[in-house]
Structure 1
Amino acid sequence: MQTLAELIQRHPDTAKAIGAPGRDWMTYGQLGTLTQSVRRSLRNAGVGAQDRVAIVLPNGPEMAAAFVTVAQSATTAPLNPAYKEDEFAFYLDDLKARAIIVEAGYDGPARAAAKRFGLRVIELTATDPAGAFTLSTDATGTAEDSSPTADDVALILHTSGTTSRPKIVPLLQANIAASAVHIGASLALTPADRCMNVMPLFHIHGLIAAVSASLAAGGSVWCAPGFDALKFFGWMEEARPTWYTAVPTMHQAILARAGRNAATIANVPLRFLRSSSASLPGPVMEALAETFKAPVIEGYGMTEAAHQMASNPLGAGKQKPGSVGVEAGPLVRVAHEIENRLVDGVGEIVISGPNVTPGYEGNPEANEKNFFETDGRRWFRTGDQGAFDAEGYLTLTGRLKEIINRGGEKVSPLEVDGVLSAHPAVAQVVTFAIPHDKLGEDIGAAIVLKEGQDATEREIRDFASTRLVAFKVPRKILILNDIPKGATGKLQRIGLAEKLGLV
C-alpha cells in the first residue's frame, strides 16, 4: 500500500471508523463519502493535489477526519491551535500554505495570520455523526482533480532543532502508509481493535499511531477532546477501547487515579497500552502492566520517521523496562557520531526505511549533516545516542542535541532565547533543560539584565507567554550577574542546570 487512500478505502462500508464522547459512530462508508465531499470543496477553492492546507482545529473527531480526508486530496499541515499570531504567521509562511481550515465562526490568531498572506480561509462546521463536517469558503478557483501519488507529500510538520529556525519535515504518502503498516504489524492490530486517542492531533504520535494505524488496520479510533485524567476512566467506559497510546506524563497521571477506578479497569480490559514520544521510566512501565494486567508497549519514534522506529514486542514478559524495544519498521543501527559509518556498541542511532522522510525542505545544510549513505543505503541520524543488547533491544543513553524534551513536547532553546532577548531589560540569555521528575525535562533560562534595568522573573515569564505557546515558556528563570561560560567564552547549554545548582 503506497498511499493513505489505498489503506483506508479497502474496509467494509458498515464498519465503525471514528467515534467521540456522546456521538454516533462514523462508518468507513461515511468516511469515504466525506472524503469525496472534501475533495470537491478543496478543488472548488482552487486547492490541488500538491497544494498545502494548514489545519487549525481543536482535538477531537473532526480534527482526525479532517487530517484523513484532506490528506487524500492535498498536503496537510496541522498546527497547534494554541499558537500566538506571530507563531502562526511564521509557520504559514514557512510551509507555503495555500489554504487554512478553521472552525466556523473562529476569529482568532490563526485567521489573523492567514490574512497577512491572503490565504484561502475554509470554515469547517461539524455535523453528525462523530467526525462529520461540511466545508465552506468565499474563495473560488479551479484545480485539476487528480489524486496524490505515493511520491506526493501527505503531511508537513516542523521540528525544532539546535538551530534557531525550525526545520520543515515533508512526509510522503508512501512514508505515512509505510509507518501506519509498521505500527499495525508491531501491535498486531485487527478490525476488532479500538484505540482511545488522547494525544494531540497536531503531533506525529496521535496522527500516525492512533489515527492512521487504526484506520489502516480496519479498526476504529475514539477521539477524546484532549487528555483529561479526571475524565479518562469515564471515557474508557463509553469508548470500550482495546488500547490507548500516550506520553509518559499522561500514563503517570492515569496511574495516580487508577486505584479508585479498579472496576472500570476490570470491566474494560485492554489488550495492551502504548507509550511513546519520551522515555518511559521502568518503574512506570511495571506499574502500568500490573495495574491494567496488560503489556505496556514502549515505542521509539520521531517526526522524520513518520513516527515509529522501534517498539517493545507484544506478549507477556517480552517488554524490557528502560528499553525502547527492537527495530519495528525501518532498519535501526548504530553509527559513529562523527564519521559516516556504522559501528558496534554505543553511538548515534540511525535509521533507513520506507517511512523515513526524503529530507528536510529547503535546508541543504541540515540534510548534509543528518543524512549519509553507506553500504548502498541512505541513513538518517536521529541525534540520539544508544546501543543494542545481545537480544536486539535498543536502549537510549542520551541525546546528542540540545533540544529540550518537555514531556514529549520538543522545544528549541534558541527559539526561546530569541523571544526572551526581545525583552527591553534583557542583555543576555541562554535557555537550557532542567530535570523534572514527571516531564523528564522542563525549560530553564539564565538571564543577565542590562545595566540600570530591572525586571522580575514573573515579568519576564509574562512577556514570554504573550509570544510563545504555553509549553515553551520557561518554568524557571534565573536572573544572574554573569552566566557560566566554556573555555572559549561561549555560552553552553549542556550541563548548565548542574553548574547553576538546579540538579
Structure 2
Amino acid sequence: MTHLDWQTPYWPQGVSRTVKDYKFPLFHLLDRSAQKYPDNVFTLFAGATKTYAQVKDTADRVANFLANQGIKKGDKVAIFLPNLPHFPEILFGILKAGATAVNCNPTYTAPELNHQLNDSESKIVFCMDHPEFYKNTVTAVKGTGVETVVVCNIKSYLPRLKGFIGGILGKIPGADRIEPGHLRFDDVVANALPVPPEVSIDPENDTAIMLYTGGTTGLPKGAELVHTNFTYNVLASLEWCRLVQEPGGQPETLREGDAHCILGVLPWYHSFGLTGAMLVACTLGARIVCIPDPRAGNPPFTEVLQSVQKYKTTFMSAVPTIFVAFANHPHLKKYDLSSFMGCISGGAPLPPDVCREFEDKTGAIIFEAYGLTETAPALTANPTFTETRKIGSIGFPLPETDVKILNINDPTQEMPRGEDGELAGCGPQVMKGYWKRPDANETSFVEIDGCRYFLTGDIGHIDEDGYVVITDRKKDMILVGGFNVYPRDVEDILFTHPKVELVAVIGIPHEKSGEQVKAFLKLKEGETATQEEIMAFCREHMAGYKRPRQIEFRDEIPMSNVGKILRRVLRDEELNN
C-alpha cells in the first residue's frame, strides 16, 4: 500500500489524497493571515483582543529582540506560559529569528523545568509574571545555560478599565519582586523594532519546535519537530474536515476570514492544542479564545462554558475528559452551546457513551482523531460525516500518510488485516527524531519498503472496512492467566454504567493469574454506588477474565495537564502500597 491509496469504500467524500504547498516556514501562516486579514481578531482574552496585524508586529519585534540578544539559527528559546495572548506572539517571534521554540508545561515544578531547560540547552526563557510560575522559573534556571529571563504580565493584555481596576485591587497575578537583570516583556516589545532578522529556513530539516513527551518511561524526551511537520499537519487537517456551516448547507471545508471562533481549551505547549487550535485558527484567519485554566469557575469548567456562549465558539479540539466535564456539568443547561459546529477528540480513546452524551446535549458532531507528540500530532482521523464516521475507531490515515499494523515481537513483519499489532505511522508529520537520544531513535523507527515508520507503542488493527481501531497502549496491556486484557475494553463498558463519570483500569500483580484487573471509578455528582453493585454490572457485561477483581472509588482520578488519565500514577501507587 502506498501513502495515497488507503483501501476503503468510506474515504470521506471530497477529501483529496494529497496535500499541496505545505513546504514553507511555519511562521508564514501568521504572515499570510496578517496580510489577508490584518484587522481580523486573532486572540481573545478576558474581553480584550489582538488583531493579526498586531500579533505579527509583536512577533517581528520579539524576533528582532532575540537577534539583538545574540540568538542565532538553531538556538533554543523556551516558552513557560499557559494559554495567554503572548504565546503566539512569542512562538512566531522565536521562529522568525530562526531559533527553535522549546514548549514547557507551565505547571512543571522547578526540578522538572530545570531538566527541560538543561536538556534542551535553552538560552532564553519567557515566563509568566505569577507568584508560582515565576518563582519556579527563578529556581529552575540555576545551573542551566539560560542567559535571559523575560517576564510576561497580563495587565497590558486586558481591557484598559479592567487592567486599571485589577491593578488597584491587586487581583492581577504577579510575582512579589522581579529579580535584577530579568526583563519585562512589555519593555522588550517597546524597545525592539518590528524588523525580524533575515534567516534562511529549510522547512523540511530545520527544527521549529521541541516538544517533550510525557515521560511515562524515564525522563521526558525532546521530540524535534520541523516546520513542515506542523504546516503539513494543519493543512491536512483542514483538508480533512468537512462541516455543515449554515442551516441546510452542505458539508464544506472550514471557511477563512472571520467565520470561525476556536476554543483554546487545550494547552498550547502540547502538540494537540498547538496544532488543533492555535495553528488552525491562525491558518484560517479566525479568532481563538485564550483559556489559561480550563477548570476555572465554580463548579469547575464554568468559565469555559461562559466563553463558549459569550464568543459563540464554533470549533473545539479536546480530550475525552473535557467532553466528560461538559456533559456532566451540573449547570450545562444554563448555557447556549449551539454555536458549536464540530469538535475533534484526541489524546486518549473516546468512550462511545461519552461521545453520544456530549452530542445529544450540545448538537455538535465529534470526530475522533489519533496522533502523538512525535507526529505533530495527527496521524489518522475519522470522517467528519455522520454517515461514515465509525465511533470507537480512529478512522483512516490523513492524506499522504500511511499506517501499518506490525508484529509486536518483530516490527519488520506486517500483521494480517483484522489482527492486533503495534501501530506504526509514516508521513510528512513524523518528527525528525528525539533530541540527543540516538538510543531512543534506534528503537522508535523501523524501515519498511524504503519508508521510515514511527512505532507508536499503541496496539490496534485495521477492520474489514479499512478503519483503524486502537485496542490499547502496549505497555498498559494486562495479562490475566494467559489472556490479554486491554484496559480500554473494560473502561468502555464501565463508562456505560449510568452512575460512572470517569474510570481508569490497571493491572496489579496476582499470585495465580500473573495479573488481575483493578478499576478506579469517579461517580457522577450526587451518585452513590457499592463495590458489589459495580461487580454485578461487570458480571453481566464482560467476560470473566476481563472483570475487575478490585474496585476503588475516587473523588478524583489522576490526569495530566492535557487531560489524559494517568494509569501509570495509579500503578505506581499500587506498587508502593
Taking structure 2 as the reference length, the TM-score comes to 0.67
1:18 aligns with 2:90: no
Structure 2 Cα separation of the partners of residues 310 and 45 of structure 1: 41
Q: Does 1:109 align with 2:136?
A: yes
Partner AA of 1:117 in structure 2? T
Q: Which residue of 2 aligns with 1:149?
A: 202
Shift of residue 144 of structure 1? 6.6
Structure 1, 253-262 or 310-319: larger mean CA deviation? 253-262
CA distances 1:344-395 after superposition (whole Å, capped 9, x unpaired): 2321111111110022122222212111112121111111111122222111
Q: Distance in 2 between matches of 1:344 and 1:477?
A: 35
Residue in structure 2 matched with residue 390 of structure 1 by the alignment: 464
2:151–2:185 contact (8 Å) kept in structure 1 = no
CA distance in 1, matches of 2:100, 2:441: 22
Structure 1 residues 472 and 225: alpha-carbon distance in aligned structure 2, compared to 1, 3 A threshold = farther
CA distance in 2, matches of 1:234, 1:75: 35
1:77 Cα shift? 1.0
Residue aligning to 1:122: 150
Paired residues, what number? 421
For residues 54-92 of structure 1, what are the alpha-carbon distances to aligned partners after superposition, in whole Å with 9 as ceiling and x for unaligned? 111233322343223323332111212222221111111
Give the match for residue 353 of structure 1: 427
Q: Which residue of 2 aligns with 1:289?
A: 359
Is 2:213 the partner of 1:189?
no
Q: Aligned partners of 1:436 and 1:67: how far apart in 2?
A: 39
User: 1:343 Cα shift?
Assistant: 3.0
Give the structure 2 partner of residue 306 of structure 1. 376
The residue number in structure 2 matching 1:65 is 89
Query: How far 1:36 sits from its partner (Å)?
Result: 0.8
1:301 & 1:244 partners in 2: Cα distance?
A: 17
1:53 and 2:77 correspond: yes
Deviation at 1:186, TM superposition (A): 2.0
- The 1-side partners of 2:381 and 2:92 are apart by 24
After superposition, the Cα gap between the structure-2 partners of 1:242 and 1:299, relative to the gap in structure 1 and judged at 3 Å, is: same
C-alpha change, 1:250 and 1:171, in structure 2 (3 Å) is: same
Structure 2: state its 5+ residue gaps: 1-21, 160-183, 242-252, 296-300, 479-486, 492-505, 507-515, 524-564
Is 1:206 aligned to residue 273 of structure 2?
Answer: yes
| Structure 2 CA distance for aligned equivalents of residues 60 and 434 of structure 1 | 39
**What CA distance in whole angstroms lies between the structure 1 residues aligned with 2:158 and 2:96?**
20
Whole-angstrom CA distance in 1 between matches of 2:128 and 2:219: 29
CA distance in 2 between partners of 1:352 and 1:165 (Å): 25
* Higher alpha-carbon deviation: 390-399 or 62-71: 62-71
- Corresponding residue of 1:334: 405
2:225 corresponds in structure 1 to 171
Counterparts in 2 of 1:216 and 1:433: CA distance versus 1, 3 Å: farther
RMSD: 3.3
Which residue matches 2:7?
none
1:202 counterpart SS class: coil
Aligned partners of 1:71 and 1:438: how far apart in 2? 43
The 5 Å alignment of 1:226-305 reads 226-228=293-295, 229-257=301-329, 260-261=332-333, 264-265=336-337, 268-305=338-375
Q: How far apart in 1 are the matches of 2:373 and 2:517?
A: 21
Partner of 2:282 in structure 1?
215
1:7 corresponds to which of 29, 50, 53: 29
> Helix, strand or coil for the counterpart of 2:186?
strand
Q: Any conservation in 1 of the 2:77–2:101 contact (CA below 8 Å)? A: yes
Deviates more, 1:273-282 or 1:220-229: 220-229
Distance in structure 2 (CA, Å) of the matches to 1:434 and 1:5: 47
Q: State which drifts further: 89-98 or 331-340.
A: 331-340
For residues 51 and 447 of structure 2, the distance between their equivalents in structure 1, rounded to whole angstroms, comes to: 44
- Report how far residue 316 of structure 1 moved: 2.7
The amino acid that maps onto 1:112 is T
| AA partner of residue 310 (structure 1) | T
Distance in 2 of aligned mates of 1:154 and 1:349: 26
Cα–Cα, structure 1 residues 313 and 111, in superposed 2: closer, same or farther, change >3 Å?
A: same
**1:9 counterpart letter in structure 2:** D
- The answer as to 2:109 corresponding to 1:84 is yes
Partners of 2:465 and 2:339 in 1: how far apart? Answer: 30
d(CA) in 2 for partners of 1:15, 1:225:
22
The match for 1:37 is: 61
Task: State the AA in 2 paired with 1:226.
Answer: D
Is there any run of 5+ residues in structure 1 with no aligned partner, and where? 408-412, 414-431, 440-469, 484-499
> Using the alignment, how far apart are the partners of 1:105 and 1:397 within structure 2?
42
TM-score, length-scaled by structure 1: 0.76
